[in-house]
């Protein structure tokens, strides 16, 4: 099963693609899509769409796992993240791929055992789980991979800690 994990954002969207075949987990791809601050939102969302589309085409995920929006105090950030999530979900619908959502807290808890883990801790633990030889950068890419790993922890009862 190929799983695409997404940490959405309009400035930076992290993604990670893993392949799971019980009991093996392998990283196939990861990275981040960055857009320029100050560009019109329509252009930023178009870039996100244009760069995510080949990832869907190349890897043909069976499932997309996306960070669920957690609204706290910054409405502007919440709205832009919501727009990025919309692009991800549109592509999933176009490729007929189901979408599962988890909060960042759930992903951190699944991967590190602590829901308030720092980004660097998540980055390190994801690398260990996937037996990566080099550090996963940027950290938004590690967050995308953590989303995919969270699905395996939640739905397949795989324990990492």
Reduce the DSSP state of residue 34 to 3 states and report it. Answer: strand
The answer to whether residue 98 scores a pLDDT higher than 70 is yes
**What is the pLDDT averaged over residues 121-139?**
96
CATH superfamily of 2-155: Ribonuclease H-like superfamily/Ribonuclease H (3.30.420.10)
Mean pLDDT of all residues in 74-93: 91
Question: Where in the sequence numbering do the catalytic residues fall?
Answer: 7, 67, 140
pLDDT score of 14 more than 70: yes
- Nearest-angstrom CA–CA distance, 61 and 130: 18
Tokens read off for 15? 């993604």
Confidence band of 145 (pLDDT split at 50, 70, 90) = very high
pLDDT tier at 75 (50, 70, 90 boundaries)? confident
Q: Which long-range contacts (CB under 8 A, 24 or more apart) does 54-58 make?
A: 55/4, 55/15, 55/17, 55/29, 56/4, 56/91, 56/92, 56/94, 56/95, 56/97, 57/95, 58/29
Query: Coil, strand, or helix at residue 18?
Result: strand
Identify whether the C-beta of residue 4 lies closer than 8 Å to the C-beta of residue 60: no
Task: With beta carbons less than 8 A apart as the criterion, state whether 84 and 10 touch.
Answer: yes
Under DSSP, is residue 38 helix (H, G, I), strand (E, B) or coil?
coil
């Amino acid at each position: 099963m190929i799983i695409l994990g997404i940490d959405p954002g309009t400035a930076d969207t992290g993604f990670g693609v893993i392949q799971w075949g019980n009991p093996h987990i392998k990283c196939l791809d990861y990275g981040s899509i960055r857009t320029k601050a100050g560009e019109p939102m329509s252009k930023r969302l178009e870039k996100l769409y244009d760069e995510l589309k080949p990832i869907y085409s190349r890897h043909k995920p069976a499932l997309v796992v996306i960070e669920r929006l957690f609204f706290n105090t910054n409405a502007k950030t919440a709205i832009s993240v919501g727009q990025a999530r919309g692009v991800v979900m549109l592509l999933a619908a176009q490729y007929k791929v189901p979408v599962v959502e988890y909060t960042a807290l759930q992903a951190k808890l699944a991967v590190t055992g602590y829901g308030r883990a720092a980004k660097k801790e998540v980055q390190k633990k994801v690398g260990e789980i996937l037996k990566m030889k080099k550090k996963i950068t940027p950290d938004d890419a590690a967050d995308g991979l953590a989303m995919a790993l969270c699905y395996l922890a939640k739905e397949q009862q795989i324990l990492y800690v």
